[in-house]
Each structure stands twice: as C-alpha cells, then as structure tokens.
A and B are shown apart, each in its own frame.
Chain A
C-alpha cells in the first residue's frame, strides 16, 4: 500500500512541476491562440539566470529567483513585441514557424554563453533529506516544487479573477473584438500574457534546477514534455493545465512502478501517458477542460 502511495505522491510532485511549466503555455494560448514551441527555452533562460546570479554575483538564492522572474518576463515581453506582434492576423502556421525559429534562436544564444553545454547545480540552499509520512518520502526540493506551484497557481487565479488587468486578459481570450470595443488594448494584453508566461517559465526553471540540476537539453525537454499535459487538460484552461500536469506525472510513476517490470527494458513512463492521452482525446477532443468550439453554419 505504501508503495502505491509513494508512487502517487511522487507523481503528484513531478506533475506539479509539469503543471507550472504548462501554465505558461496555456497563458499564451489562452490570450493569443499562439502555441509557443520556445517555452522550454524560456524555462532555460530562467534557470540559467538564477544560476548566474547566485554563482557569479553571489546573490541570495531568493533574490536571484525574484530577479530571474523579472528578467525572463522582460525577455518574453520583448520577444512578443519584436517577433509576434507583427504577425497578428497572419496564418497560424506562420506564427508556429516563428516560435519554432525562436526556439532555435534562443538555443543558439544560450550556447554563446558559458551555459550552452554542461551540467550545473545550484549551491544547496535547502536542508538535506526530506519529510516522511505513512512510509512516503518527499525531498525538500520536491516539497518546494509543490508549494511554489500552489502559490503561483493561487496568484494567477487571483490575478485573473480579481484584478482589472486579469479581467481584461480574460475578455481578450473570450472575444477579441468585444474586448477591443470596450477599450481593452489587445496588443498590450498579448505582450502581458507572454510576460506572465515568462514568470511561470522562470519559476519552473528554478524548480527543475533545484530538483535535478541545470542542463539546457533537460530544461528544453521539460518544455516539450508539457505538451501532453496541456492537450490533456485543454489548451486554453488553467485548471486543465494543473490537472493535466498532475495526471501525466502520476501516470508516469504508475507506469514505471507497475508496467516497467512487465516490459523488457522498461521505459513505459515515456509511452503510457500518451496512450491515455489518445484515449481521452477520443472521447473529449478539446481535452478535459478545454473550450468546446461549436461552429454553426
């Protein structure tokens, strides 16, 4: 029983990291209908910024984290202004190609810094070990991941429900024309959505760096791993990103725990979530919480 419980808790932890990474993805899609293939690179920008500030400038890790959030948000904001804004109204395939190109560009730029290749680790700032309950163990970095994810989700939940800017962003997501007629600057909202995605990307990068070290390829891979999470949850749903991320994390762990022994070599964690994803999409093509768009002729 404690084995199953451990798998579920570990899945929840990993899933909450996916959820945080997926959140940025959804924020951009929700506001501007853009699928950002460069999200993993933003996660890397956040992680390397924290590392650089802590190791080179000897900044306190929390200060560095705050600075990295601001910096990544600024980079994402500028990227939107420079590359995405001119594409408003253009075919979606053009926008997708731009984000793919953006991923390559950011990759290349990161490789020009000392961080391109190599493995890096943040100096330890949390106590060793972790907490144990009912035979289940969770490390402090993993606990931090869950807490930060919960804080960010609560923060964004409040922002979208209670703040004027959040309401404006929701209005743009629902109906751009109606929002514009009420005086909402759609351009401004698009850029802010990218900045908000930059914030969550920096947080995800910091957490991944704390849990498993900092490596460009791994960070970019996290950005791609959230695809099944957001598709499962629904591309335009914030609760969907959370549920999707956690479901994928739990499924990965259950597959490793129960299916790997049955398959020579194991590795079912990389496949099983996609099988479930296909089954879910069969019955709910818009994902678990995605908006079902009905067009009437």
Chain B
C-alpha cells in the first residue's frame, strides 16, 4: 500500500513538474550519420538520466532528437520549430548548418551548442549565443602540430582535410602555427571518401612528407592508413577528434597502430570516473557495445549536460525557462557556467569572452588495438597567439 502511495506521489510529481523542451537536430541518417547516430543516443541517454536522477532542478526536460539528414534546410526548420515552441536552448550538429544559422541565432538570442567544433562558430560576427562543448578543430590541429614539432623538429607535414567547411576550418590557423613551430606544411589535400589513395600517398612520399595530419572523418583516414602501410611508407599519421577514435581502429585494424589522435574525451576502457559513468549509462539504457565504445556517445552527453545544467540553474534562480525570457535567462547562466560533468578531461567553463567549454585535450596513441593517452590534459600554447593574436 505504501509502495502504491509513493508511486502515485511520484507520478503526480512527474505530471506536475514543469516541462521544458530541448531539441537536438543532427544527422541520424545521411552523411556523417556514423557520428550523428551515437551523438543522438548520448543526448537521449543523458537527458533520461538527468530526469531520473533529479539533476534538472525539479523540471522535466523533454529531449527530442531530430534527424536533419545533414541538410541545412532541415536544421533551420527544426530550429525554427524549437524557437516557436519556446525552447530555451538548442543542440545543433553540422558546421554548415551552424554557420548558416548564425545570423538567425544572434537575432533571436537562442543558446546554441553544436557538435561542430569549427572556430568560425564562435568567431564574430553573430557569435554571442554559440558555445563549443570542447576545444576547436583549429586548436586540436595546432596541438598535433606542436606534438609533431617536439617529436621531429622541422618535420614536413601534409594536411589531409575533408572537402567541406568542416575540413577546411583549421587550415589557415595550422599554416600560421606551422611557421611559428618551424615545421613545413608541404601540401593541403582535400580528401573525399575513396577506394584508393595510392596516388596521393606516392605524391606525399615524393615530396618527403613525414606526417599526415587529418581533419576528416574516420572512413577515408582508415583507407589512407591501410594504403600507406601496404606501400611500405614510413609516414606517421595524426588525427583530429572526428578523424580518429574507435571507428578508425575498427576500420584500419593493425594499420592503425601508432596513429596519434587528439580529443577531449575519455576512452570507455580507461580507469577514470568519466569513462565509468559513460559505460554505466550505456549499460543502463541497454546500448550496444559499439555505442558505448564510440567517442560520439559521450560527446552527445556532454552537449546535453551543458544545456540541462544552464536550464536548471536558471530555474533554480527563480527565472523563467521557456519563451523569450527563458532564452535570456539560460543565456545569462551560460555566460557564467562552470561545472564538471566528468565526461571530458577538464571542466566546462564559459564566460562572455570564452565560449569554449572544455579547454583541455590529450594526445592518445593507438597501441594494441586501443587508443592510449600519451599526454596529460593540456591546452595548445600557440592557438591563442595565431588565432587571436594574443
């Protein structure tokens, strides 16, 4: 009887809790859905967890993951729907979609957290309401160049980038950083998904390239690494966040041994509280092993955690959390947000001037079929100098 009473009480409580909608729009199908699928699951699972564990300040956060098929028009439609409904924040995805929506985001004043870590998202103009969850692609690539410069001073490097704004994002900063570091960027090659990269690799080898730095997705990188191994080339491979991870190991197999990768997230097999948390949540919501292993799963969780924390704090401060006033209140909380959800290698901190959440990353190396950290969490020494001139 007492159990029944408690259940009725809880159900009534759930029914009366104020509902706040939070939408994620990204590629569950279509291009890059190999990342988007897991990202969406991360958003969904963290949201469920936050509601079930009372981490929402008494609110019921209704998370909705929408498949925009990597199509900017769909992203815009979803964003406008969320806006009309009075959502206080929005979780985005692609670089193209985010860059296209910037003026609208600025106009309506909606906090927007994309999965794209393009520095252009948070650069002026129209950048007030955009927040990156972790370090930008530019900072990731510069960090890799710093690592290479230390390992092989004066190294010859090629950049193999995705043929899109996502791929091209870090190129100007990487070129400036290479000059400062005394390493040579021999070539920048745009590299779409292909069946064979022999021609590109032979050309790189003829030019004396010693390292290839990838700002790409795992598929083409895996094929290129396998081709390099088959050709017997001594070129080393270094991957930015979306170019590496367990997907790369799965696709490239043994050829991935020795590849270095930079990311702000933990690996699920690491002895770290954040890694254990991700694993626990994946098991709790009955996610398959490939989801739990994917680096995109905690990425989605982190984006949801940031938005939910800001909404919760606004609500606890007695401010409205929906409509125009809700957007304003959540944005005000974002500008002073500082907390550590434990999902990445550093805390999330935002200010009016700093729109990068987790400011740290690590370099990992593929050893025995796993990415193993080979540095402590760090920030790029050069990024701020080459990008902001300070």
Chain A interfacial positions (CB closer than 8 Å to B): 3, 6-7, 10, 13-14, 17, 107-108, 111, 114, 116-121, 124, 128-130, 137, 139, 142, 208, 211-213, 215-218, 221-222, 252-254, 256-257, 260-261, 264-267, 269-270
Residues of chain A within 8 A (CB-CB) of B206 are: 3
With A3-B206, A213-B251, A260-B189 known as contacts, the answer to whether A117 contacts B29 (CB < 8 A) is: yes
Q: A116-B28, A117-B37, A270-B192 are in contact. List 7 more A-B contacts (CB 8 A).
A: A6-B199, A119-B251, A212-B251, A213-B222, A217-B30, A253-B196, A261-B187
Q: Are B202 and A257 in contact (CB under 8 A)?
A: yes
Q: How far is the CA of A118 from the CA of B227 in the complex (A)?
A: 21
**Nearest Cβ on chain A to B52's Cβ, whole angstroms:** 26
Sample (26) of A-B pairs whose CB atoms are under 8 Å apart = A6-B202, A10-B198, A14-B194, A14-B196, A108-B29, A111-B28, A111-B29, A119-B250, A121-B253, A128-B254, A139-B227, A211-B195, A212-B193, A213-B250, A216-B33, A217-B33, A221-B193, A253-B198, A257-B202, A265-B190, A266-B188, A266-B190, A266-B200, A267-B191, A267-B192, A270-B163
* Top 5 closest pairs, chain A to chain B, by CB: A117-B37, A256-B199, A117-B33, A10-B198, A257-B199
Give the nearest-CB partner of A120 in chain B. B250
Residues of chain B within 8 A (CB-CB) of A107 are: 29
Residues of chain A within 8 A (CB-CB) of B193 are: 212, 217-218, 221
Q: Are A118 and B290 in contact (CB under 8 A)?
A: yes
Please provide the chain B residues from 138 to 193 with a CB less than 8 Å away from any CB of chain A in the complex: 163, 168, 187-193
Give the nearest-CB partner of A141 in chain B. B226
Please indicate which of the listed interface residues A130, A142, A254, A256 has the most CB atoms of chain B within 10 Å of its own CB. Answer: A256
Residues of chain B within 8 A (CB-CB) of A137 are: 198, 230-232
Q: How far is the CA of A260 from the CA of B197 in the complex (A)?
A: 13
| Residue from the list B37, B200, B202 in contact with A3, Cβ < 8 A | B202
Please indicate which of the listed interface residues B31, B198, B223 has the most CB atoms of chain A within 10 Å of its own CB. Answer: B198
Q: How far is the CA of A63 from the CA of B218 in the complex (A)?
A: 29
Residues of chain B within 8 A (CB-CB) of A124 are: 253
Residues of chain A within 8 A (CB-CB) of B253 are: 121, 124
Q: Are B230 and A129 in contact (CB under 8 A)?
A: yes
**Nearest Cβ on chain B to A112's Cβ, whole angstroms:** 10
**Nearest Cβ on chain A to B50's Cβ, whole angstroms:** 24
Indicate if B282 sits at the interface (CB-CB under 8 A): no
Residues of chain A within 8 A (CB-CB) of B200 are: 256, 260, 266
Q: How far is the CA of A212 from the CA of B194 in the complex (A)?
A: 8
Q: Are A261 and B203 in contact (CB under 8 A)?
A: yes
**Nearest Cβ on chain B to A277's Cβ, whole angstroms:** 18
Give the nearest-CB partner of B27 in chain A. A117
B interface residues, tally (CB under 8 Å): 43
With A124-B253, A137-B231, A260-B200 known as contacts, the answer to whether A117 contacts B38 (CB < 8 A) is: yes
Indicate if B340 sits at the interface (CB-CB under 8 A): no
Q: How far is the CA of A124 from the CA of B37 in the complex (A)?
A: 26
Q: How far is the CA of A128 from the CA of B198 in the complex (A)?
A: 17
Residues of chain A within 8 A (CB-CB) of B288 are: 114
Q: Are B189 and A265 in contact (CB under 8 A)?
A: yes
Q: Are B34 and A215 in contact (CB under 8 A)?
A: yes
With A116-B33, A117-B29 known as contacts, the answer to whether A266 contacts B231 (CB < 8 A) is: no
Residues of chain A within 8 A (CB-CB) of B230 are: 129-130, 137, 139
Give the nearest-CB partner of B37 in chain A. A117
Residues of chain A within 8 A (CB-CB) of B33 are: 116-117, 216-217
Residues of chain B within 8 A (CB-CB) of A217 are: 30-31, 33-34, 193
Contact with A along B216-239 (1 / 0, CB 8 A): 001100110011001110000000
Q: How far is the CA of A211 from the CA of B230 in the complex (A)?
A: 12
Residues of chain B within 8 A (CB-CB) of A17 are: 195
Q: How far is the CA of A256 from the CA of B290 in the complex (A)?
A: 34
Q: How far is the CA of A261 from the CA of B31 in the complex (A)?
A: 27
Contact with A along B34-56 (1 / 0, CB 8 A): 10111000000000000000000
Q: Are A119 and B218 in contact (CB under 8 A)?
A: yes
Q: Are B219 and A265 in contact (CB under 8 A)?
A: no
Q: Are A6 and B192 in contact (CB under 8 A)?
A: no
**Nearest Cβ on chain B to A139's Cβ, whole angstroms:** 5
Residues of chain A within 8 A (CB-CB) of B226 are: 139
Q: Are B37 and A118 in contact (CB under 8 A)?
A: yes
With A120-B250, A267-B190 known as contacts, the answer to whether A212 contacts B218 (CB < 8 A) is: no
| Residue from the list B34, B189, B195, B254 in contact with A14, Cβ < 8 A | B195
Q: How far is the CA of A252 from the CA of B34 in the complex (A)?
A: 26
Indicate if B68 sits at the interface (CB-CB under 8 A): no
Q: How far is the CA of A17 from the CA of B195 in the complex (A)?
A: 9
Q: Are A10 and B196 in contact (CB under 8 A)?
A: yes
Residues of chain B within 8 A (CB-CB) of A142 are: 196
Give the nearest-CB partner of A212 in chain B. B223
Q: How far is the CA of A13 from the CA of B29 in the complex (A)?
A: 30
